[in-house]
A = this chain, B = another copy of it.
Amino acid sequence: MTDFAATKSMFHLPEGMIYLDGNSLGPLPISANDRVSNMLRDEWGDMLITGWNKAGWMAKPMGLGDRIGKLIGAEPGHVTTGDTLSIKVYQAVAAALALRPERKVVLSDNGNFPTDLYMVTGLLKSMGSDYELRVVDPEAVQDALTDEVAVMMLTEVDYRTGRKHDMRALTQAAHACGAITVWDLAHSAGAFPVDLAGCEADFAVGCTYKYLNGGPGAPAFIYVAPRHAEAAQPALSGWLGHEAPFAFDLDYRPGQGVERMRVGTPPIIQMTALEAAMDVWDTVDLNDLRAKSIELCEAFISGVEARCPDLVLASPRDPQQRGSQVSFHFQEGYAAMQALISRGVIGDFRAPDIMRFGFTPLYIDEADVAAAVEILAEIMENRLWDRPEFKVRAAVT
């Protein structure tokens, strides 16, 4: 049984704050400061260039990939880390398209995170006018799988509502019509068990700064199924994805398997912070995590629905169809969220009217949920959101 009181003690959580925004940026693992500080002093400081060998910097992208891989059901050696999620989306979709050269359609849904759609738009534009990004409603994806579709690219959990696609069924349907799948696990990795190998997913990508708690701008990851590992061609063919980076050949030859999805010099300081975060995960059973996450979400929903009749559930009611977040519609959601934040309950807002709350059992417990419901109820009952100071929009929300 996972000891969630113990995991909670491994994070720095500001006094008086209830942090329900771990689906945007996870909190600081307490060990990260020492880890990074030691790395700066003992590795960069004292080893300098030799750190690439001596301190194992060069092996970090694959080492971290394997640690993440355990949380998403990937085969060992088939996940690597680096760059940003946007870049990894581009790599995955480009490689997937090259496996279906006779097809020209990338299918996605309008609940996908916009950058995924933007990156594919850019990719297809450079590939020529016969390619198409086809975007449908989340519920319409399965019916839109035709033999025109080269790649089905979906974010498993909708960042607005927490609605969760059925990865197994959709992957099977995509394969049945001959399409390759690219799954974005931004709101899945560390939120619940993912079974990439069992679902026969082809490519997957994700970030590490949300549920995995790797810190602001932590590196992304990419998975390539073993059966595609030697066929997948990297569009972003950088030197660290080369078969022999330090031979400095003029011609590119892709490295082994997913290693070819490495591009440039990895961000070692960020990776060191991420390693501290991954240490916490070593103590966690994802089935326990999922059970606890559902408990917390259910408690929040029933509390809010009982106390705040103006808030309308935007997330699926069935916990199996949700990720690890709960969203509510409220027309004055922006102001209500600002009011909440001013009272120490941190969630976030997504236009036009969605109040989002992430539930992360590693550091959020039943008492936090009860307190958050109480504060939200006070704000709603007393219309505290209706103050001018809560209606001023910040640049970044």
- A contacts, CB < 8 Å to B: 12, 14, 17, 19, 21, 24-25, 27-28, 32-33, 36-37, 40-41, 44-46, 48-53, 57-58, 82-87, 90, 94, 110, 113-115, 117-119, 121-123, 125-128, 135, 207, 209, 215-220, 233-240, 242, 246-252, 263-271, 273, 341, 346, 348, 350-351, 394-397
Contacts and interface: CB of A to CB of B under 8 A. Distances in A.
A44 B215 contact: yes
B58 A40 contact: no
A18 B41 CA distance: 18
B84 A395 contact: no
A32 B36 CA distance: 11
Nearest to A118: B252
Given A40-B33, A49-B21, A252-B122, A267 B264 contact: no
10 contacts: A14-B48, A24-B49, A36-B36, A48-B346, A87-B87, A117-B250, A122-B237, A123-B235, A215-B269, A217-B267
Nearest to A26: B48
A41 B33 CA distance: 7
Given A45-B27, A114-B249, A235 B122 contact: yes
B216 A44 contact: yes
A247 B351 contact: yes
* Chain copies in complex: 2
Contact of A53 (B27, B52, B394): B394
B21 A44 contact: no
A214 to B, nearest CB: 10
A215 B49 CA distance: 10
Contact of A86 (B19, B236, B346): B236
A251 B14 CA distance: 37
A125 B218 CA distance: 30
Given A25-B48, A118-B252, A269-B273, 9 more contacts: A14-B45, A36-B36, A86-B236, A115-B264, A118-B239, A122-B235, A125-B235, A215-B269, A246-B397
A264 B83 contact: yes
Given A238-B84, A346-B49, A248 B40 contact: no
Nearest to A30: B45
A240 to B, nearest CB: 8
Nearest to A252: B118
Contact of A28 (B25, B40, B207): B40
Contacts of A45: 12, 14, 27-28, 33
A84 to B, nearest CB: 3
B217 A270 contact: yes
Contacts of A247: 351
A226 to B, nearest CB: 23
A371 B128 CA distance: 58
Contact of A118 (B19, B115, B242, B397): B242
A49 to B, nearest CB: 5
B85 A83 contact: no
Contacts of A94: 126
Contacts of A121: 237, 251-252
A6 to B, nearest CB: 19
Nearest to A127: B126
